[in-house]
Amino acid sequence: FRWSGTHNVVQVTKEGYENCNATSNLSLSPVQTTSPFTFILNSTTPHYFICTVENHCRLGQKVTIQIRQFPSAAPSSLIKSGGIVSALLLVVASLFM
C-alpha cells in the first residue's frame, strides 16, 4: 500500500470491513501509518483492509483483495509479467490517494 497525506491501513475481519471498525477484536494487524507498507497475503481467502482516519472508510477507503489461482491454461506471459498483481496494486493505491 502506498499513500500520501493523512491515511493509514489496517487489515480487518469481514465484520470490521463492513462496519469500518478496527477495534482489537476485529483487527488482524496493527494500524500501519507509514507508507509504503506491504502485507503478505498467503491464502486465497478474502483479505479486508480499511483506512481508520476520521470517516475515510465510510467514504469508501476500503478494499477487499482475494487472490485467485489461474487455471492451467492462463497465459504464461501474464503471470511472468505480474500484470494481475500490478493491476491489483494500482487499484489499491488509487483507493488510498
- pLDDT computed for residue 89 by the predictor: 45
DSSP 30-62: PPB-SSS------SSS-EEEE--STTTTTTT-E
> What mean pLDDT comes out for the span 17-42?
95
Full residue range of the structural domain in which residue 48 is found: 10-65
Phi then psi for residue 63, to 5 deg, are -150, 145
Q: Select the more confidently predicted residue: 89 or 66.
A: 66
pLDDT tens readout for residues 32-61: 999 999 999 989 999 999 999 999 999 999
Does 81 reside within a domain? Answer: no
Does 5 reside within a domain? Answer: no
CATH number of the domain that residue 30 is part of:
2.60.40.420
- Report the domain count for the chain: 1
CA 10/CA 65 separation, integer angstroms:
13
Does 80 reside within a domain? Answer: no
Does 96 reside within a domain? Answer: no
Residue 81 has pLDDT above 80, yes or no: no
Does 25 reside within a domain? Answer: yes
Cα angle for residues 22, 42, 54 (degrees, 5° grid):
20
Residue 87 has pLDDT above 50, yes or no: no
Against a cut of 0.75, is the pTM above it?
Answer: no
Three cell numbers written together for 71: 487455471
Does 79 reside within a domain? Answer: no
